[in-house]
């Protein structure tokens, strides 16, 4: 396992991050703990959870699993999405953030969180209030670094600019959906994060399972999450497109060339992408976990990587197209 800097910080995180959204649901506590231990034994040190994952059970399982190995782990969690029926049980207000951090600390059985994310942007709370609260948490030692998830590019830049103006703690990472079949972040987030030295932590790096090799055509499957009628990012109509199956077929071609699995090829492409820090791997079983871990320790050839990059790239768009045409370089 290799390690990478977490944005504009001095902390090093493993090139894969262990996601724990399924801990306490499709992955029981015992298997979850085995997964955590295998990840740490393999050199992984970056673990991601959230207060809403299995209603807090995920945090409890993670806290118990890392136990005496706490100092080895860069532990990330989040708050912002609703965790209860009351009006202040959600959002990025000072009250909810402070309450959320204290609740997460209890569940994780630790006295500090390495990386605390805002789970979503909050239109009701001024970002000034949110950033002051986060800076206070860093000053108190309860939180060491801060990040955000699912922000628009202007929301991220506004936050960074305000932190700089007030000398507050600055976001070191953003967690965004990013994969071969979801490269929307290339429009603005990627260049912004490279410019501002913010690490990109991709969630959904296998496209919700689309890049695992188990789907062969665009017919609606009768298994997996795409059969459930989910809305949003894992809506069947959102992911099962001709463009995405062109990408799926390109990945399968690389499987034949590399003798790796589809998941390993898709993750390895991500590891070679400039600006990407640590893709989040989530698994419902040890077998899936081991498959994902096989994405490290080797590399696609330059030609193979560029072929996948080309087939999955976004169409040329204005104003990026015009800027590229007139770009000045030395």
Domains and CATH numbers, the chain: 3-212+264-299 (3.20.20.100)
Q: What is the mean pLDDT of the chain?
A: 96
pLDDT at 111: 97
Rounded to an integer, the average pLDDT of 131-160 is 98
User: Distance between the two ends of the chain, CA-based, in angstroms?
Assistant: 36
Q: Is 78 in contact with 36 (CB distance < 8 Å)?
A: no
What is the tens place of the pLDDT at every residue in 209-243? 999 999 988 888 888 888 887 788 888 888 999 99
pLDDT band at 322 (very low <50, low <70, confident <90, very high): very high
The percent of residues in the chain predicted with pLDDT above 90, rounded, is 92
- With both helix axes pointing from N to C terminus, report the angle between 242-258 and 262-271 in degrees, rounded to the nearest 10: 100
What is the tens place of the pLDDT at every residue in 183-215? 999 999 999 999 999 999 999 999 999 999 999
Rounded to an integer, the average pLDDT of 114-136 is 98
pLDDT at 229: 79
pLDDT at 216: 87
Rounded to an integer, the average pLDDT of 84-93 is 96
Q: Is 53 in contact with 20 (CB distance < 8 Å)?
A: yes
Q: What does the DSSP 8-state code read for residue 53?
A: G
Token code pair at residue 284? 């419902």
The set of catalytic residues is 53
pLDDT at 234: 85
CB atoms near residue 105 (< 10 Å): 18
Q: What does the DSSP 8-state code read for residue 215?
A: -
Look at residue 312 and tell me whether its pLDDT is greater than 90: yes
pLDDT at 231: 82
């Amino acid at each position: 396992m290799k390690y990478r800097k977490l944005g504009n910080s001095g902390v090093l995180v493993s090139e894969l991050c262990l996601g724990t959204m399924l801990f306490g649901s499709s992955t029981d506590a015992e298997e979850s703990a085995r997964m955590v231990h295998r990840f740490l034994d393999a050199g992984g040190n970056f673990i991601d959870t959230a207060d809403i994952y299995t209603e807090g059970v995920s945090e409890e399982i993670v806290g118990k699993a890392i136990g005496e190995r706490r100092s080895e782990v860069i532990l990330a969690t989040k708050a912002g999405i609703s965790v209860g029926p009351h009006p202040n049980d959600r959002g990025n207000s000072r009250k909810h953030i402070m309450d959320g951090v204290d609740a997460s600390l209890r569940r994780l059985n630790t006295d500090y969180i390495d990386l605390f994310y805002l789970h979503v942007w909050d239109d009701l709370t001024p970002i000034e209030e949110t950033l002051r609260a986060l800076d206070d948490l860093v000053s108190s030692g309860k939180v060491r670094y801060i990040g955000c998830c699912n922000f628009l590019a202007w929301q991220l830049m506004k936050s960074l600019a305000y932190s700089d103006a007030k000398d507050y703690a600055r976001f070191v990472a953003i967690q965004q959906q990013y994969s071969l079949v979801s490269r929307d972040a290339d429009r603005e987030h990627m260049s912004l994060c490279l410019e501002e030295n913010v690490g990109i932590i991709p969630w959904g790096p296998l496209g919700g399972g689309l890049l695992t090799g188990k789907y062969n055509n665009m017919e609606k499957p009768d298994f997996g999450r795409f059969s459930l009628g989910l809305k949003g990012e894992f809506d069947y109509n959102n992911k099962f497109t001709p463009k995405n199956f062109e990408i799926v077929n390109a990945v399968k071609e690389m499987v034949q060339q590399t003798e790796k699995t589809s998941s390993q090829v898709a993750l390895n492409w991500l590891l070679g992408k400039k600006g990407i820090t640590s893709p989040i791997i989530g698994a419902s079983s040890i077998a899936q976990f081991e498959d994902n871990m096989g994405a490290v320790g080797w590399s696609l050839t330059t030609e193979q990587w560029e072929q996948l990059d080309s087939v999955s790239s976004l169409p040329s768009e204005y104003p990026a197209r015009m800027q590229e045409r007139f770009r000045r370089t030395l």
